[in-house]
């Protein structure tokens, strides 16, 4: 018994009941599920939201992209705050903020309020609650195999949330209303909070820990301008160039800022040493591309089915069942795969299967008008992404010791969410750019995602065949 627990007992204060690692995973995995669900479920509500709130496809796309972008730009600051405020406090606080945003979105009278609730409040809440999910998991599971199983459950539910978002969202929207989908999110969040009552922070917070405010602002501004520069590609090339230039300039400023703080002996928002780990860098590239493909493909297929094929929310959601089944099956086998195959082979194999699925999504949809044409491609796509989500996370998190888990967790989640926002921004921009219409625009958008997939495959092939924890 520790000195701290003896003091508590002597004072007559009941000791907190620490959750077992397996029970701890339940609320953590559910949290990842609902955040991923939020990023994709709105894709099947495009027609309903546009009609109800008097907006268009671009308005809904901007709302989804902004939600994903806010998650990305605040994930690193959020991870640093876990050291200062504590992992449990950030987790619960983020959930409460997310729940408020979901309720506000459900009663939104217009697009502005929807953006405030869904994009801003849910985005900020997610940036606070997600880093503790991966930090707590890394601390609770020490060996590579059990950690692979834990990350498999969390990443698997994240993948299922993203893949099943259109199906669940379609069912709720058709049976009740698109607003009820946000009430569903609020109810899940309330359940997670109840399940987390016995969660105990394994490391006490340090309120004196410095926080790099300038670094947080500069990095956020840089990523914001880069992503929104992509959104202007279809309407104003000059504005796109201006936004991208400003974004790159701010990101360069951020790099020089954190390097100067390190030289001055001050703690930066992000240590440059994190980028000197070759294995982690390659893992981060694969993570970024995986989520770019997952959210980008969900958006493209959903828009194509609703605006070109004329499907409603439930019909669109049912089509995505194939992807959901694929992600679920491959994610459930994460622990078995990790014990039989190397991390590299799983990621490489996942990209190959995913690219094959994208090829089928284009080839069969163009020559065959039946809804069945999309099923083989979505099934392969789901199997491929589900196989590689877990090992990519495991590679990155396991490349650093426990004391650096806060930083690498924030960077990892930021890179993944940046990929998600790029996916919807790039694919959505191509769909409405006028480069093509109907099947042609759909094929171009999927083709662009395929190019990104090839980049991810190249990064995966450069990973070493055998990986040890903390080996850089």
Query: What is the sign, positive or negative, of the torsion defined by CA atoms of 405, 406, 408, 414?
Result: positive
Nearest alpha carbon to residue 301 among 288, 289, 290, 317:
317
Residue 150 has what pLDDT?
81
pLDDT digits (tens, 9 = 90+) for 443-459: 888 999 999 999 999 99
Q: Is the confidence at residue 48, as pLDDT, over 90?
A: no
Q: Treating both helix axes as pointing N-terminal to C-terminal, what angle do 375-397 and 122-140 enclose, rounded to 10 degrees?
A: 60
Give the DSSP H/E element, type plus range, for residue 5: helix 3-10
Mean pLDDT in the chain?
83
Distance CA 396, CA 296 (A): 23
Nearest alpha carbon to residue 425 among 263, 284, 260, 233:
233
Tokens of 469: 């924890």
Distance CA 250, CA 371 (A): 45
pLDDT digits (tens, 9 = 90+) for 128-151: 998 899 888 878 887 666 776 787
Highest mean pLDDT among 123-127, 141-145, 267-271: 123-127
Distance CA 98, CA 100 (A): 5
pLDDT digits (tens, 9 = 90+) for 312-361: 778 888 888 888 888 878 877 766 776 778 888 899 999 999 999 999 99
Give the count of beta carbons closer than 10 Å to the beta carbon of residue 330.
25
Q: How many residues comprise the chain?
A: 472
Contact assessment for residue 377 and residue 358, using Cβ atoms and an 8 Å cutoff: yes
Distance CA 221, CA 211 (A): 17
The rounded radius of gyration (Å) of the Cα atoms in the chain is 21
Higher pLDDT, 459 or 471: 459
Higher pLDDT, 390 or 288: 288
Higher pLDDT, 381 or 366: 381
Residue 436 has what pLDDT?
55
Q: What is the mean pLDDT of residues 111-137?
A: 91
Tokens of 363: 């080839």
Contact assessment for residue 323 and residue 379, using Cβ atoms and an 8 Å cutoff: yes
CA-based end-to-end distance of the chain = 36
Give the count of beta carbons closer than 10 Å to the beta carbon of residue 84.
16
Output the CA–CA distances (angstroms, integers) from residue 243 to 154, 236, 238, 288, 427, in the order listed.
35, 11, 9, 21, 18
Q: What is the mean pLDDT of residues 161-175?
A: 84
Q: Is the confidence at residue 6, as pLDDT, over 90?
A: no
Distance CA 468, CA 472 (A): 9
Q: Is the confidence at residue 109, as pLDDT, over 90?
A: yes
Tokens of 270: 């992000």
DSSP letters, 292-310, are HHHHHHHHHHHHIIIIIS-
Contact assessment for residue 322 and residue 311, using Cβ atoms and an 8 Å cutoff: no
Nearest alpha carbon to residue 45 among 237, 219, 229, 179:
179
Q: Is 236 exposed, middle or buried (0-12, 13-18, 19+ CB in 10 A)?
A: exposed
DSSP 3-state assignment of 313?
helix
The reported pTM is 0.77
Query: What is the sign, positive or negative, of the torsion defined by CA atoms of 426, 432, 433, 436?
Result: positive
Residues 6+ apart with CB under 8 A from 6: none
Distance CA 271, CA 83 (A): 15
SS3 content of the chain, % helix, strand, coil (to 5): 80, 0, 20
Confidence of residue 64 (pLDDT cuts 50, 70, 90): confident
DSSP 3-state assignment of 235?
coil
pLDDT digits (tens, 9 = 90+) for 420-443: 888 887 877 777 665 556 678 888
Count CA atoms closer than 13 A to 446's CA, side-chain side.
29
Distance CA 241, CA 77 (A): 27
Distance CA 466, CA 322 (A): 33
Distance CA 185, CA 255 (A): 37
φ and ψ at residue 468, rounded to 5 degrees = -110, 150
Contact assessment for residue 347 and residue 382, using Cβ atoms and an 8 Å cutoff: no
Tokens of 337: 């795969």
């Amino acid at each position: 018994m520790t000195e701290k627990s003896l003091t508590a007992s002597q004072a007559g204060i009941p000791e907190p009941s620490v959750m077992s690692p397996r029970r701890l995973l339940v609320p953590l995995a559910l949290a990842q599920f609902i955040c991923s669900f939020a990023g994709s479920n709105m894709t099947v509500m495009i027609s309903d939201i546009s009609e109800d709130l008097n907006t268009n496809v671009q308005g809904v796309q901007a709302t989804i992209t902004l939600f994903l972008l806010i998650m990305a730009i605040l994930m690193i600051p959020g991870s640093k705050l876990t050291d200062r405020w504590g992992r449990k406090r950030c987790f619960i606080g983020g959930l409460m903020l997310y729940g408020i945003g979901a309720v506000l979105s459900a009663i939104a009278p217009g697009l502005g309020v929807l953006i405030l609730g869904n994009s801003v409040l849910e985005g900020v809440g997610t940036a606070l609650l997600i880093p503790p999910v991966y930090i707590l998991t890394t601390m609770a599971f020490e060996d590579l195999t059990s950690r692979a199983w834990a990350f498999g459950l969390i990443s698997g539910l994240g993948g299922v949330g993203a893949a099943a978002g259109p199906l669940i969202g379609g069912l709720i929207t058709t049976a009740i209303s698109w607003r009820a989908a946000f009430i569903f999110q609020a109810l899940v969040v309330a359940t997670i909070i109840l399940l987390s009552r016995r969660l105990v922070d394994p490391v006490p917070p340090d309120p004196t820990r410095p926080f790099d405010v300038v670094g947080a602002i500069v990095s956020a501004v840089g990523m914001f301008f880069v992503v929104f520069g992509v959104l202007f590609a279809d309407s104003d090339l000059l504005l796109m160039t201006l936004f991208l230039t400003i974004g790159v300039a701010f990101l360069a400023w951020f790099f020089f800022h954190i390097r100067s703080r390190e030289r001055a002996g001050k703690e930066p928002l992000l240590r440059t040493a994190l980028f000197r780990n070759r294995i982690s860098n390659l893992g981060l590239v694969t993570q970024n591309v995986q989520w770019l493909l997952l959210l980008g493909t969900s958006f493209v297929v959903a828009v194509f089915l609703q605006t070109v094929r004329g499907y409603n929310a439930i019909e669109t959601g049912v089509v995505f069942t194939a992807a959901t089944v694929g992600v679920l099956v491959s994610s459930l086998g994460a622990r078995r795969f990790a014990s039989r195959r190397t991390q590299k082979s799983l990621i490489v194999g996942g990209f190959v299967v995913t690219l094959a699925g994208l090829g089928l999504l284009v080839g069969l949809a163009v020559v065959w008008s039946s809804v069945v044409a999309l099923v083989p491609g979505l099934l392969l796509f789901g199997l491929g992404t589900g196989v590689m989500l877990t090992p990519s996370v495991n590679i990155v998190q396991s490349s650093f010791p426990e004391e650096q888990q806060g930083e690498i967790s924030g960077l990892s989640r930021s890179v993944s969410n940046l990929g998600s926002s790029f996916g919807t921004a790039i694919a959505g921009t191509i769909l409405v750019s006028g480069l093509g219409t109907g099947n042609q625009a759909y094929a171009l958008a999927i083709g662009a995602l395929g190019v990104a997939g090839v980049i991810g495959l190249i990064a995966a092939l450069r990973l070493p065949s055998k990986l040890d924890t903390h080996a850089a």
